[in-house]
Amino acid sequence: MEKVILVTGANSGIGLALCERLLCEDSRLQLCLACRNMQRAEAARSALLTSHPDAHIDLLHLDVGSVRSVLHAAHKVKARYNRLDYLYLNAGIMPNPQIDIKAFFKGLFSSNVVKMFATAEGLLTQQDRVNKDGLQEVFATNLFGHFVLVRELDSILCQAGQTSRVVWTSSSNARRSAFSLEDVQHRLGTEPYASSKYASDLISLALNRHNNSQGLYSSVICPGLVMTNLTYGILPSFFWTLIMPIMYLIRIFTHTFTLTPYNGAGALSPWIRGQSITV
């Protein structure tokens, strides 16, 4: 039986690079690209088929930020596949990021400088908004939609005699102090991204506690700082290109600067984790 792998947010950045790396490992697997924009999903599928012409790649419409879309997609997945070996919960957003320049220069000359570059602690805030479901958008997209997806798919994730894995793309920016049980959606704060990633770490622990006995294992993985649409939303791409030599210098001190989607995705698959980083 070929492995079935579903990746959310598979049409760009780390998700797309992950699909590429998974197919390099095993071109026979059944890959399902779950994306909110079908045009971008088609483009990603074509790109993957260029390097793996015989690959089995399906597309699934999924907007993780919409509960209705998640329920509909889960229904389709259960109708299409009778097993799910890997579920990569990768889709994520960081809307309207703002860098605290003062904190950056203060951190630069402090003993916390390496930690600052590795985690962006105290450097980044975002402006969140309420979505159509009445939920905070970052919480809904990065966490809640994925959680509903896992719950809805439990009949094919937790099957007797079979092991399934859920892998969350988390972040070194996840911070306990940004998360509060009294405000899980982070309605009141200015770090919804850090809060949502910390919450995904907690949910992963809870999933393990409740589902390991049924053969479902959950992990969280930070891909490191990677140049993608998400990071181009923080600083424009030309600026990142300009400071690339500095980034390679910083990389000597923090291994979290993986920089390319290919390198970032390397952390996400247990099959390819052993491979060396190439740039």
Ligand X SMILES: NC(=O)C1=CN([C@@H]2O[C@H](COP(=O)(O)OP(=O)(O)OC[C@H]3O[C@@H](n4cnc5c(N)ncnc54)[C@H](OP(=O)(O)O)[C@@H]3O)[C@@H](O)[C@H]2O)C=CC1
Ligand Y SMILES: CC(C)CCC[C@@H](C)[C@H]1CC[C@H]2C3=C(CC[C@]12C)[C@@]1(C)CCC(=O)C[C@@H]1CC3
Shortest-Cβ-distance residue relative to ligand Y: 171
Interface pattern 200-239 for ligand Y (x via CB under 6 A): -------------------------x-----x--xx----
Cα-flanking dihedrals φ and ψ of residue 152, to 5°?
-70, -25
Contact between 113 and ligand Y per CB under 6 A: no
Query: Which partner, ligand Y, ligand X, none, binds residue 90 by CB below 5 to 8 Å per kind?
Result: ligand X
CB 15 within 8 A of CB 7: yes
Q: Burial of 242 by CB count in 10 Å (0-12 exposed, 13-18 middle, 19+ buried)?
A: exposed
Out of 119, 164, 171, 269, the only residue in the binding site for ligand X (CB under 6 A) is: 171
Minimum CB separation of residue 63 from ligand X in Å reads 4
Q: What ranges in 81-162 are assigned the alpha helix state H?
A: 101-108, 113-119, 137-138, 145-152, 154-157
Distance between CA atoms of residues 279 and 71, nearest Å:
39
**256 is a contact residue toward ligand X (CB under 6 A):** no
Which among 139, 105, 104 is positioned nearest to 123, based on CA atoms? 104
Instruction: Among 33, 120, 143, 221, indicate the residue that binds ligand Y (CB under 6 A).
Output: 120
Q: Which residue stretch of 1-9, 150-158, 179-187, 245-253 sits at the interface with ligand Y (rule: CB under 6 A)?
A: 245-253
124 binds, among ligand X, ligand Y, none (CB under 5 to 8 A by kind): ligand Y
Residue 77 and residue 84 in contact, taking contact as beta carbons nearer than 8 Å: yes
Torsion of CA 247, 249, 253, 258, to 10 degrees: 40
Q: Quote the least distance from Cβ 246 to ligand X, whole Å.
A: 16
| Binders of ligand X in range 78-137 (CB under 6 A) | 90-93
Structure tokens belonging to residue 212? 């390991």
Q: What Cα–Cα distance (Å) separates residue 171 from each residue in 198, 205, 236, 256? A: 8, 15, 21, 10
30, 141, 172, 218: residue in contact with ligand Y (rule CB under 6 A): 172
Assess 15 for contact with ligand X (CB under 6 A).
yes
Give contact residues for ligand Y (rule: CB under 6 A): 99, 117, 119-120, 123-124, 171-173, 225, 231, 234-235, 243, 246-247, 250
Give contact residues for ligand X (rule: CB under 6 A): 8-9, 11-15, 35-37, 40, 62-65, 90-93, 141, 169, 171, 222-223, 225-226, 228-231
